[in-house]
Amino acid sequence: MALIHDLGEVYAGDITPSDRVEKQQKYQLEKDAVMQILNKLPNGSHWINLWEEYEQGKSPESQFVRQLDQLKMVLQASVYEHQGLANLEEFFQFSSQTFNTPELNSIFQALEELRSNLNARETQPNLTQKNSPSSLCYDCAFHVAVADKSECIHPDEWEVNCATVTFCSSFQPSVEIDSPCVTFGQDE
């Protein structure tokens, strides 16, 4: 279900509220696309039924997949904010009551904490600003400039030990990184 729920967008496109397409019309466009794709497959009716189950949103599985889809959008919104592309406060407020499992809610809360760190960084003059030459990562909310050096500000409650952050050896940073917070390991 999670793999096929957006399959209708292949032909219908990613219709958003700003497109002002009526809900029934959106459903029909996506259903036509799903039928066009899945009817050709063996057991296609099984996949079509799963897609319909997601669209109805009544089963526990479909509700969970809907929450995952919303969490994916929240994560993307967080990236946009960290890149300075938009302030998506309203989107975060709308999403705050969406997650009804402790696991998904904790991920949402962690993203909210990232937003708080970003907002604090933007309002305090001693924090590393985007495009600052002393910043380890121009889009990272976890580092601040303190006395001409960068320090990690990972919150303890996330149980993140920045000394153990490892990138695969194929990662190529845009600038040389000389930090105890970053190591380069082997590809797995």
Give me the CATH number covering residue 90. 1.10.3210.10
Residues 6+ apart with CB under 8 A from 64: 101
Domain hosting 95: range is 9-123
| 177 is a domain residue | no
- The pLDDT of residue 122 is 58
| 167 is a domain residue | no
- The pLDDT of residue 48 is 97
Residue with tokens 């797995």: 188
| pLDDT (average), residues 11-23 | 88
184 Rama sector, left if φ>0, alpha if ψ -120 to 50, beta otherwise: beta
| pLDDT (average), residues 11-32 | 91
For the CA atoms of 92, 94, 95, 97, what is the dihedral angle to 10 degrees? 130
Q: What is the pLDDT of residues 104-127, one digit of tens each?
A: 999 999 888 888 877 665 554 443
Given pLDDT bands bounded at 50, 70 and 90, which one contains residue 5? very high
| 4 is a domain residue | no
Looking at residue 169, the DSSP 8-state letter turns out to be T
| 91 is a domain residue | yes
| 173 is a domain residue | no
Question: Is pLDDT above 70 for 17?
Answer: yes
- The domain total for the chain is 1
